[in-house]
Homo-oligomer: A and B are copies of this chain.
Amino acid sequence: MKYEAVTIKDIAKALGLSTSTVSRALRDSYEISPETKKIVIEYAQQINYRPNPIALSLKEKRSRSIGIIVCEIANSFFSQAINGIESIAYDKGYNVIIAQSHESYEREILNLQYLASRSIDGLLISVSSETENLDHLINLHKRGFPIVFFDRVVEDLATHKVSVDNYKGAYDATSELIKNGHQNIAMVAGSEFLSITKERVAGYHQALSDHDLPFDANQIEYCLHGGMLYEEVEKALEKLLYHNNNKPTAVIASADKLTTNCLRYFKSKNLQVPSDIAMIGFSNLDLTDLLSPSLSVIRQPAFEIGQVAIELLIKQIENKRPTTEFEKIILPPQMIIRESSGAKKIR
């Protein structure tokens, strides 16, 4: 069943005018007499005329819609970021089409093809944790297609980038744990391919070094799927806790899903937090205060990241000349200290 909308032609026919006159009257052109304008505008209102955006898109060669690719919308960081994106996009008359990679490189490519074929005007992307090869993005970018990276940015592409100071977040978390007496701090990290992982590892590394603690590569375990799979996190923690000369007394989880799955593991093993094992996690869940013990977290300004990213993208889309100067914006993370990062057990 088709739903028939009213067009400019219907108005023209009803009023005995040409479509051009109607179009101009509706756009308040100086060429049209005030009386005609009044008649047209009133009639249009009466029959609830709305210009067909598809016809406009065809003519103007732009769809006023932008694509977003994230791993999961059911991830508090990304749903908050999308909220930020939407808040600005709707104001500026753009709609957003959301696609999920589910952390799969293959699906990221499929999504990109799909979005490109839907003639989006620009793309906001936070790459999947499997993404190492960037050819799919480079191709588009070379042809002048506007792309803005957020959160998980990549180095090899000259575009706008918006992320959080991951280095500082990890540095602060590590320092806090050291302050509380922890000397053996492990890290459950996300995919090695991701910039955010590298930065967080670097911050962790530097904090250890600044406090004269040794860095042990065995204290870091990478999870390719970013914690999406419980088994992956389980394996990482087994290795860190039980197949390690240097058993850690504290853990830093470097992503939302990693954090919750670490907790799940500790619970299953009956490990008390923070007495058996302390932890700080990167997390944007608004429930971490309700956990027992309440969870110390590094929180990212997700909403703002989304807002800044979409603003840069729209600016680039609406630019007449090709953009040559790209911005790299880094927002500060927030550390919220609660119970889970407390002192280790006194033996």
Contact = CB atoms under 8 A, between A and B. Distances in A.
Interface of A: 1-5, 50-55, 57-58, 61-63, 65, 73-74, 76, 79-80, 82-83, 86, 90, 95-100, 114, 116-119, 143-146, 260, 263-264, 267, 285-287, 289-292, 316-317, 319-323
A1 B53 contact: no
Given A95-B97, A96-B98, A146-B1, A287 B260 contact: yes
Contacts of A118: 53, 65, 95
B287 A144 contact: no
Contact of A290 (B97, B144, B291, B319): B291
B50 A54 contact: no
Given A1-B144, A3-B145, A5-B119, A98 B100 contact: no
Nearest to A76: B74
A96 B2 CA distance: 19
B289 A292 contact: no
B79 A119 contact: no
Given A74-B80, A80-B74, A290-B291, A144 B3 contact: yes
A114 B90 contact: yes
